Structure 1
Amino acid sequence: MIVVVTVSANYWVWRKTHASITLESEQCAHEPVGLVFGTSYGLRGGGENPWYRARLDLAASLWKSGQVDHLLISGDNHTRYYNEPVRMWRDLRQAQIPDAAMTLDYAGFSTFDTLARSRDVFGVSRVTLISQRWHLPRALFIAQYLGLEARGCATRGRTMFDDRWMWAREILARVQVIADLYILDRHPYFLGPSIVLPTSAQGPGHIIPVYQRVAMPDPVEQALGNLRIRLDAPSAPQPKTPWRVIR
C-alpha cells in the first residue's frame, strides 16, 4: 500500500507539472515576477551550497535578459542569526541586480509558505519559479493548487546522479504535499500585512520595469524636463539659452 500510494502521488505531481517546466533558461517565457526559493548558503560539511549559487545565477540571468521584470526573494529568517533573503539579496547586488528590482520575503519557511505568501501578501498572480529540476514539480503543484499562473525555470549544471539524494527526498516530499493540501488543509505559518510590488495600472501582476522606477540624477532629470518643454513649445523663434556647466 505504501508503494502504491508513493508511486501514485509522484505520478500525479509529475503529470500535472512536467509540461510547465523549462530546462533551458534561454527558452523560459517572460513573466512579471521571478520567485527565488531560499536555501542555505553553506553545506553542513563546509563549502558553498551549489543549489544556492545555481538559483541566484539563474535569477540574475533571467532579470538581465528581460525574462522577468522583478525578483521576489523568499527564504527563512526564523532567528536574527539566520537570514536567507538578506544573504541572497547581498549576492544578487554583487551580480549587479539593482535594489529596485528585488523584493524580500522574510517568512518563506517552506515551499508552501513561499507560494502562499506570494499570492496573499505580495499579490502575485503570474510567476516564474526559479529552482532545481527536482524541486520544481512539487513547487508547481502547490502553485497550481493555489491558483497561480506559474511556470518553472530549472537551473543547470548538475546531473541527476549528483543530486540523487535530493531526488530521493522529493519522492517522499510529493506524498507529503498531497496530504498537506487535500487532507490536512495546510495554511501558511505567517501571513501579515499586504506588501505591494511595484505594479502599474496596465493589468494585474504587471510589473513596472526597473528603468522606470529608478530615480535619475537631478541634472539628467532637469535636462529631460527642459527638452520636453522645448518640444512642446510653439515653432516661433525662441531666445537661445546659453550652455551651463553642471558640476
Structure 2
Amino acid sequence: MFLANFWVISLTEGRTFKKISKIPTQKCALVLGTSPKTREGRANPYFISRLEAVMALYNLGKIKRIIVSGEKSRNYDEPHAMKNYLIYNGGIPEYSIIEDPGGFNTQTSISRCKYIYQEHNIIIVSQRFHNVRALFIARKEKMNAYAFDAKDINAKESFYRNHAREFLARVKAVVLYILNISPHISGDKINIE
C-alpha cells in the first residue's frame, strides 16, 4: 500500500502547481466535483476553494474553457451548482463553462474529459491530496495534464478523513492501472468550442 502511494506521488512529481504564474497555459481546466454543501447544510469549503482556484486560472488567461465534472442525480447536481457559482460569483461567461453530469468519480471524470469532450491538454483543479491521484489517472490515459492545487481545508476531522481515504484510493488507482481497467465511457462526442 505504501509502495502504491509512493509510485503515484513520484510519477506525478513536478506536474502540480500552487502558483498560477508557474503553471503552463492549457485550453481547458477540469474541475473535479464535490458536494456544494456539508452534511450540516453549510457551504462546503472544498467546493468553494476549487471554484475560486479555477476562476483565478480563467481570469489570468491560463485557460479558455472550464469543464465542471461531478455527480448529477435526482435533486442533486454538482456540475450545475459549480456552473452557477462560476457565473454568479466569478463573472465567468456561460459559454466558457461545460457541465459534465457523468463524473461520478475521479477516474470517470478524467476519462470523459478525454473521450467525450476530446480534451487531452488540461489543468485539473482540486486539492493537492486529490490532484496527485487525478494526475496519475490522466497519465494512464496518456493525457498532457497538469494540476492546480486549490486551497486545502485545515479542519482536523475532514483533513484526516480525506487523506486516509485518498491513501486507499491511490492503492485502488494502481490496481486498476496494473490490471488495465478503465470505466466504460459511452455517449456522443462533444466539441467544447
| Fold shared, TM-score > 0.5 on shorter chain | yes
- Matched letter for residue 86 of structure 1: H
Deviation at 1:100, TM superposition (A): 1.2
Query: 8 Å contact 1:126–1:149 — kept in the other structure?
Result: yes
RMSD: 1.6
Tell me what 1:172 maps to. 168
Give the one of 88, 98, 119 matched to 2:82: 88
Query: 8 Å contact 1:25–1:155 — kept in the other structure?
Result: no
Query: 8 Å contact 2:87–2:94 — kept in the other structure?
Result: yes
Deviations 1:151-187 (A, max 9, x none): 0100125349562321111111100111123226132
- Matched letter for residue 33 of structure 1: C
Alignment of 1:95-244 (within 5 A): 95-156=90-151, 158-159=153-154, 163-183=159-179, 185-188=181-184, 190-198=185-193
Tell me what 2:26 maps to. 31
- TM-score, scaled to structure 1: 0.74
Query: 8 Å contact 1:25–1:58 — kept in the other structure?
Result: no
Whichever of the two has the greater Rg, that structure is 1
Q: How many residues align?
A: 191
- TM-score, scaled to structure 2: 0.93
Deviations 1:39-78 (A, max 9, x none): 101111331111100000011111011011110111101x
- Matched letter for residue 144 of structure 2: E
Deviations 1:113-167 (A, max 9, x none): 0000111011101000011011011000000000100001001253495623211
- Matched letter for residue 109 of structure 1: F
2:9 and 2:116 mapped to 1: Cα distance?
28
Gaps of 5+ in 1: 1-5, 199-247
Q: Which has the higher strand share?
A: 2
Mean CA deviation greater in 13-22 or 149-158 = 149-158
Tell me what 1:7 maps to. 2
Identity rate of aligned residues, in percent? 28
SS in 2 for 1:180: helix
SS in 2 for 1:104: strand
- Matched letter for residue 41 of structure 2: G
SS in 1 for 2:171: helix
Gaps of 5+ in 2: none
